[in-house]
Structure formats: C-alpha cells, structure tokens
Structure 1
Amino acid sequence: MKAKQWNGPLALTTATVASALCLTAMPAWAQSSVTITGAMDMGLLNMSNYSRGIGYLPTSAHDTTDTRAKDGGLGSSNIGFKGVEDLGGGMKATFHLHGNINLANGTAGGPNSSATTSFFNQMSTVGLSGSFGEIKLGRQFSPAAWAMMHTDVRGMRYFGSTLTALVSMNAASKSWIGNNSNVAFGTIYDDNTLAYTAPVWNNLKLDFAYTFGEGRGKANSQQSVTALYTNGGLKLSALYYNGFGNNYGTAVALYTAAAGGNAAAGTRAAEAAGFSPTANTNRLYAAGALYSTGAWTIGGQYYAARNPSHAVMPGGSDSLDMLNFGLGWKPMPQLNLLAGYYYVRDNKNDGHKATQFVMGAEYLLSRRTWLYLQGAYVTNKGDNMAMSPMYATPVAADRNVRAYMAGVRHTF
C-alpha cells in the first residue's frame, strides 16, 4: 500500500509514522492519509475608534485613532489536521482538527460555547462519508456560516464583510459579550453537534445540523438547515437557524454584576426578563445570490435576526435586519478587487442603524501567498449600534469609524 504524504514541508507519511511506532503498529486494511493545513495572516490596522468597554457590549468609551499590529486581516491564522481512511465500497472515515493561532503573540485556540478556551476551537470532528452523503460529530463550522460565505462577494473576510455585519447584530442585542461562540443570532461554530450533508442533487447541496443540549432536552440546543445552489457562475443560498438559551449565561453574568456580584439576584433578574436555558432567543433567516461572469462578480444578501422569546437586555434589540451588496473585479489573474456595502437596521429601537462600505485589493504573489490592502468607512447611529469593520476588534457605539489595513496571508 502506498500512503499519501503530508501536505506541506514535513515529508512524513502515515506509513513512516507507523513504522517508527512499531509497538502500536496494526495491520493496514485500507489506504489512509493525514494532511496538515493552515494559514498565517497578519498586518497593520489603522482605525479611528477602538472600544474601551468589555468585549462587544456597546459602550461610548473609546480610544482615538491608533495603528496596531493585527492578526487575521483576510481570515484567521490557524493550523489543522485532516485525516481520511478509505474503508472500501465508497465509504471513508474522516477526522478534522483545526484551531486559531494569534501571530501577534503566539497564543493558540479561542473561546468555545461555554466561555472557556479550546485549542481546536474551529473544528474537532470525526465522521463518515459515502454515497449517502457525510455525517460529522463534534465542534464544527456551522452550516449557516457556509451559507453566509457562499453568496457574500467578500467571502466573509475578517475585514468588512457579512461576518463583521453579523457581529454587529449580535452586539446590538446587548446580550453577547464576545467571550463565547454561543452568540445571540446565528452561530459560526457549534459545540456538541451532529451535522449531515446530503449528496448534491441537481446542483443543490443541503446541510442539516443539530447541537445537543447535553442531556437537558431542548435547553441550549440549536438547529439549522441550509441550501446552497451552484450552477456555472450562479450561486444561491438560503439558511434557517434556531437556538434555545443562547443568551442566558451572558444575561445572568450582566445582571449579577449589576447586583454587586450577587449571583442569586442576578439569576432572578435574568429569568424575570425572560432569559432561561429553554427560551427561544436565537433565530436567523437569510437568502443570497451571487453571479460571476468573466472578470466580474456581483451579489447580495438579506438577513433577518429575531428573538422569538423577546427576552431583551435594557437598551438591546430582539429584531434586526441586514442587507448587503457587493461587486468584484479581476482585471488580471493575480489581482482581485472587491467592494461591499452592508446595512443593519434595528427594528426595536427607532432610528438605530449602521452602515459599512468597504473596498479591498488582493494581489497573489503565488498560489499560496497574498498581499492585501483594504479600507472601510462605518456609520453607527444609536447607543447599541457598534459595527466594527474589523473582526475581533470592538468599537464604541454611536460613533463613525474609518479603518485601513495592509498585510500578508500565506496558506499551506
């Protein structure tokens, strides 16, 4: 049997590893491989408004214009391991481990749904695939996030995209701090999840996911269904996401702090406001379309974020809409120019809204290395509107933002 080599500078194979660890060697029944994957992305960010508050909770406290080193300009820096074994008959066993790396300080991992840190915070799954589709178990990139990326012209980049607009909708709820991935509206990553991808049928790909409440029925559970259509240059996306108890822990923590640290009083106040592990506080609908022809790409999306239980922190929102449009142009194979406009409206607090206009240029030095330059202008109106053009970089509410970033990204 010939084993595949690891992808990257390490010229190890699974056969080599098995030989070296002879004490644990087992008979080889089928071909298997392990691949190292990842990306390193860092640049300099100049921004006119940095929040001095706690995470993503909207606040008026802010710093003035500053230039800072920033990890993740186009996307996160990360490292991962993907494995596949051919079981025969068209069936394969798979695993995927993937986690963030912060190039600015060398730390690894990130927050999970329970507000603790996981090394493999992006992906930790095991699964099976075959003619029936694919089943995966573990913490994973949510199907809803794949749908967001599918029709966003800026591809959910960390600077100025559907991702940063979605974060602003979560911040506007005033019930998400940012120290966990169990957000107020939709999620990017889900713990304890069973996901199923059906075989592609007539260019249509369907994904289903259920996040378990860990022995407590529907408490803290989430469900999602997404549909992705691809036919030539046309892409369509639709998603439905629903969750229970997403804001409960944050609401208890905030009310506890307001009660001078009295946890019992904080819990009573949160539950009196309608928060609980079974409250249906998280629902997200979205639809999008993208079309590419020649050097041009155009697309748009609509999002509706709702809190069916109407459990709301003071000054927060239980109903927001987002609309975006994007345009891309590749005048030459190495150069990619992208622009996007993102509009978020608070339906609960009259006059509260945010807009984001972003432009970016990306130049490929090779198939794996990009140079990029991007700029954005954001308006925020309302004391719970704090849209930031840069992911993982909160800004103060009710203030406009100018931002520029230049950097380099290398994938492997």
Structure 2
Amino acid sequence: MKLKVTATAALLACATGVHAQSSVTLYGATDSGLLYQSTSAASFAPNAHNTGKVYAFKDGGIYSSFWGMKGVEDIGGGYKVNFKLQGAYNSGTGRLGLASTTGATALFNQQTTVGISGPFGAFDAGRQYAPMSYALYDTDVRGAQYFGSILTAWVGMNQAAGWPGTNTNAPIGALYDDNALVYRSPKFYGASVALEYAPGGVAGQPQGNTRQSAVLEYSNYGLNLAAVYYNGHESSPADIAVPTGKNDNRFYYLGAMYTFHDFSVSTSYGIGKNPANANHADYEMVSAGLGYRFTPAFRVTSGFYYLKDRNNSANHSDEFAVGAEYSLSKRTLTYVQVGYVNNKGTMNQTIVYGQPVAPGTSTTAAMIGIRHSF
C-alpha cells in the first residue's frame, strides 16, 4: 500500500511538473560582410551631396546582427506564458542599435514583450515588430532582407517622406512599435489576422502618438497573400514632442508570393501617405521578384522595386537586386549580393538598409558576407 501511495505521489508530481515546465533560451546571429557602393551621402536628405565611393566592413547583409533571450512557461490547458528580449548590435563596432528616440540607444531595441498564447491565438505586449513587417517578409522573394528588398524599398519611401534615419519612428508604416498590444489569431484554413493597437499615453489627448494596424494573411498550398492597413499619429520626433493627435501616417499594402517546388515568384503594391498633409507625402511602391532553389543548400533570389512620388512625377526610383546564398551548415550561411538603383529627382532609395546613397542619380552596390546563427 505504501508503495502504491508513493508511486501515485510521484506521478502527480510529474504531472504537475509537466504543466509548470519553463525554459529560457539565449539566441541571436552575427551577420558581417564587405560592401562596395558607387555613391554615398552623409545623410538621407533629398539634397545631400555625393561623397563618393564606399568600401566598408558592413553589418547586416541579410538581416541585422542581434542577440536576445526568450522564455516560455507551460501553465496547462494548452496555454503558455512567454517573454522575449531582443536587441540589434553592429558586428563591426559592438555598438547597440537605434531606439525610438533620436540620439538614444537601447539594450533591447527590437523586442521587449510579455505575452500569452493558447487555443485563442497569441497576445503580446511591449515593443515589438509591427505586424506589417511580417507581411512584407512573407510576400517578397528576397525575404525583406537588408540588401535590395521590399524592406529597403519601404525604407526608401520613408526617406523620401523625410525620415532622417536617426530613430525608428518612421513617417510611413512601421518596422517596430513601442507600447504595442498585438493579437494574432490561429490559422483557419490558412487564413489568419493580426490586430495592433499602441496607446499613446498622452494626457488629455486620446489619439496622441497612437498606432493602429490590421494585417490579413493567407498561407496554404505554396501561396502567401497579405493585406495591410496601418495608421499612426505623431510620427515625426517634432510631433511626438508636442502631440496633438494629428493623423500623419498611413500605409496600405497588398502582396503575394507563390512557391512551386523550388521556384518562387512574388509581387506587391503599396501606398504610403501623410493624411494630414498628402501634398507633402504621397508615394506608390511596386515590387516583383523571382527566385530558385537549386539545391537544399543553394538558392538565388532577385527583385525589382519601383517607387513614385504621386505629387511629383519627376521623383521616382527603380531598383534591382540579386543575391546568392549557400548554407555551409544549419546555422552558417554565406552570401553574395549585387544591386543597382536609379534615383530620379529627389528620390534616394537605398540598396542597403542604413547606407545612404546620393539622391537623384544611379548607384551600384555589391556585398559578400557570412551570417551565423546561435
């Protein structure tokens, strides 16, 4: 009898342990390469001068170098509580990445979330990637990489709208959002929805510095579809300092990617504008991409990205990029990238994220690098 009681107690302890299982993981990646660019500029200003050719050690040919910690606790009934702390760093200098505020840095500048997931889907609170960033990734053959992709085209749209590149408060859409509350639904026959609201916390001004977005996605049978609506208030640092609830950030996006065996094709259309002053910022973005995986370890991707100022047809930009990636192992990837952009008027669409080009002229860039994940 004593043996049976002891065994039962042990089983109950094990069952309790299953529901209380938790883990913490350290993870990240280092991405470094050598970059050549035929033009450069000291800033993203539309009248910046061409400072000449650039030969440089560059962080982030595929994506930024980053590190983080994440944890999950199983609380039973199919529910889990989780957290994630993630920050970018420059692999060449060890410097931390940008924060939302100009001139400031943050240890975890990409994600600082706590949340819960279960049969209902997932809910996360804190600084995090805006849901629209996943939609861009899922509908671009180039995977929204830091070199010549839908991401750099979207950044080019923001630069044309006046983004100085010194903070993460972009005037059109968002890559990250502070104080964000994001719900992601389960997939239903391949369809899912993500809803975001970021309260501004401005006394006496409910709309001040707020963000709202909705993303509808479908993923099944090799087809990815995405529709994005993003709306923001007080997107510039000057407006944030004195928030009035001005609606000055609007982004619409439709994208699709289809993969059949080893061949992939993508296309998208987006509009970004300042609803409070559409005569100042109203842009159109079109993309197309092709890719082929020759072996499980080797693939080639290409993309074309077009930007147009809908207020001034003289301002437009065409960009083409191609890249080859080879996996040396499960965690280590080598790559070669080549890109060309032809900026007209005051346009200054970049080829490489964070690397200014001379506006109103053509630029060629090439990069070779290695990315290791841990």
The TM-score normalised by the length of structure 2 is: 0.92
Q: Secondary structure at the match of 1:74?
A: coil
Instruction: Give the aligned residue type for 1:239.
Output: V
Cα distance, 1:66 vs structure 2: 2.1
In the other structure, the counterpart of 2:361 is: 399
Cα distance, 1:132 vs structure 2: 1.3
Q: Secondary structure at the match of 2:93?
A: coil
1:90 is aligned to 2:107: no
- The 1:114–1:190 alpha-carbon spacing in structure 2 relative to 1, beyond 3 Å, is farther
Cα distance, 1:208 vs structure 2: 0.4
In the other structure, the counterpart of 1:152 is: 140
Alpha-carbon distance in structure 2 between the residues aligned to 1:356 and 1:304: 17
CA deviations 1:311-347 (Å, max 9, x no partner) are 76xxxx4110000000001111111100100000000
Cα distance, 1:88 vs structure 2: 0.7
In the other structure, the counterpart of 1:238 is: 227
In the other structure, the counterpart of 1:337 is: 300
In the other structure, the counterpart of 1:33 is: 23
- Count of aligned positions: 356
Alpha-carbon distance in structure 2 between the residues aligned to 1:121 and 1:178: 15
Instruction: Give the aligned residue type for 1:233.
Output: G
Instruction: Give the aligned residue type for 1:326.
Output: G
In the other structure, the counterpart of 1:249 is: 238
CA deviations 1:279-331 (Å, max 9, x no partner) are 1110000011111111100010111102111176xxxx411000000000111
Q: Is the 8 A contact 2:234 2:240 kept in 1?
A: no
Which structure 2 residues correspond to residues 38-187 of structure 1 after superposition, within 5 A? 38-53=28-43, 56-113=44-101, 116-174=104-162, 176-187=163-174
CA deviations 1:86-135 (Å, max 9, x no partner) are 00111110000000011110112322256532110010000111111111
Alpha-carbon distance in structure 2 between the residues aligned to 1:29 and 1:387: 51
CA deviations 1:246-304 (Å, max 9, x no partner) are 1251798xxxxxxxxxxxxxx8xxxxxxxx64211100000111111111000101111
- Aligned residue among 301, 310, 332 for 1:347: 310
Higher percent of residues as strand: 2
- The 1:44–1:279 alpha-carbon spacing in structure 2 relative to 1, beyond 3 Å, is same
1:217 is aligned to 2:206: yes
Q: Is the 8 A contact 1:115 1:181 kept in 2?
A: no
Q: Is the 8 A contact 2:209 2:240 kept in 1?
A: no
Q: Secondary structure at the match of 2:116?
A: strand
- Aligned residue among 319, 337, 343 for 1:356: 319
Q: Is the 8 A contact 1:310 1:318 kept in 2?
A: yes
Q: Secondary structure at the match of 2:247?
A: coil
Alpha-carbon distance in structure 2 between the residues aligned to 1:195 and 1:111: 20
- The 1:90–1:358 alpha-carbon spacing in structure 2 relative to 1, beyond 3 Å, is same
Q: Is the 8 A contact 2:30 2:64 kept in 1?
A: yes
Identity value in percent: 40
Q: Is the 8 A contact 1:114 1:182 kept in 2?
A: no
Alpha-carbon distance in structure 2 between the residues aligned to 1:188 and 1:67: 28
Cα distance, 1:396 vs structure 2: 2.1
- Aligned residue among 183, 194, 201 for 1:196: 183
Q: Is the 8 A contact 2:320 2:339 kept in 1?
A: yes
Alpha-carbon distance in structure 1 between the residues aligned to 2:19 and 2:256: 45
Q: Secondary structure at the match of 2:275?
A: coil
Aligned Cα root-mean-square deviation (Å): 1.8
In the other structure, the counterpart of 2:6 is: none
Q: Is the 8 A contact 2:146 2:353 kept in 1?
A: yes
Gaps of 5+ in 1: 1-26, 253-266, 268-275
Alpha-carbon distance in structure 1 between the residues aligned to 2:152 and 2:143: 11
Instruction: Give the aligned residue type for 1:386.
Output: N
Instruction: Give the aligned residue type for 1:111.
Output: A
Alpha-carbon distance in structure 1 between the residues aligned to 2:263 and 2:333: 20
- The 1:291–1:401 alpha-carbon spacing in structure 2 relative to 1, beyond 3 Å, is same
Instruction: Give the aligned residue type for 2:352.
Output: M
Q: Is the 8 A contact 1:369 1:408 kept in 2?
A: yes
1:324 is aligned to 2:287: yes
Q: Secondary structure at the match of 1:168?
A: helix
Question: After the TM superposition, which segments of 4 or more aligned residues of structure 1 sit over 6 Å from their partners?
Answer: none
Cα distance, 1:193 vs structure 2: 0.7
- The 1:301–1:370 alpha-carbon spacing in structure 2 relative to 1, beyond 3 Å, is same
Q: Is the 8 A contact 2:169 2:237 kept in 1?
A: no
Q: Secondary structure at the match of 1:118?
A: coil
Alpha-carbon distance in structure 1 between the residues aligned to 2:368 and 2:215: 34
Alpha-carbon distance in structure 1 between the residues aligned to 2:295 and 2:180: 42
Instruction: Give the aligned residue type for 1:52.
Output: A
Gaps of 5+ in 2: 1-16
